[in-house]
Amino acid sequence: MSDAGPVRDPVARAEALVSIFHADSARFGRLRAVDAENVPPVPRRLLDHDSHMTVAMETFHGGPVGLRVLAERTVGGGPAAGAAYAREIVLVSPPGRIVQHGIVRIDLGAVAAGTAAAIRAGREPLGRILIAAGLLREVGHVRLLEIEPGPHLRGLLTRREEGCAPLHGRVADIRLDGRPAIELLEIVMATDPAAA
């Protein structure tokens, strides 16, 4: 389902998002582009589509996921090259296990003031807010990644510095009502619903 249109290198896209919050990308993790056939079946099913990850994660984990905002800031160079709101988040399953990590850059000028306020409030996952707002959403330029976790991601997973297998993620863009508005990096942290 990955969009085949011309677009920047997926690793460069992901690293640009990572750099918003992590000056030392090695502390975050090492990223490399992978083809879908080289991703294990469960992460591939969760990542290789043109839908919202919130929907995919809630379907996979059998219920709503919660949002925890780790960091946020206003940055330049968003999808429309103006100022944008960026945040680093995790989604958590009802028992509190982290199931997804994400970094997103959003042009809040592409949404109504109430939707922008809901996004900034940080209480609900982005996908749920955009769906509730009834915006025409086009997820595109999806590219899959393999991530060797650095200390930051390992800390989220295990609270220790060693022993994490590679993770899988994706970079994607979202157009809202035909306008480029969102860039995101999404990393699946838990792929076993029994563990969630």
Domain that includes residue 167, residue range: 10-188
Does residue 193 lie in a domain region? Answer: no
pLDDT exceeds cutoff 50 at 53: yes
Q: How confident is the model at residue 58 (pLDDT cuts 50, 70, 90)?
A: confident
**Would 195 be classed as within a structural domain?**
no
Give domain status of residue 196, yes or no.
Answer: no
Report the pLDDT value the prediction gives residue 3, as an integer from 0 to 100: 42
- CB of 79 closer than 8 Å to CB of 180: yes
User: What's the whole-number average pLDDT of the chain?
Assistant: 86
Q: Could you tell me which residue, 93 or 3, shows the higher pLDDT?
A: 93
| 123 domain residue, yes or no | yes
**pLDDT on residue 90:** 95
Give the model's pLDDT for residue 2. Answer: 40
pLDDT digits (tens, 9 = 90+) for 133-154: 988 788 989 999 999 999 999 8
Q: How many CB atoms lie within 10 A of CB 175?
A: 18
- CATH number where 57 lies: 3.40.1410.10
173 domain-assigned: yes
Domain membership flag for residue 2: no
- The reply to whether 132 falls in a domain is yes
The total number of structural domains in the chain stands at 1
pLDDT of 193 above 90: no
Residue 194 maps to a domain: no
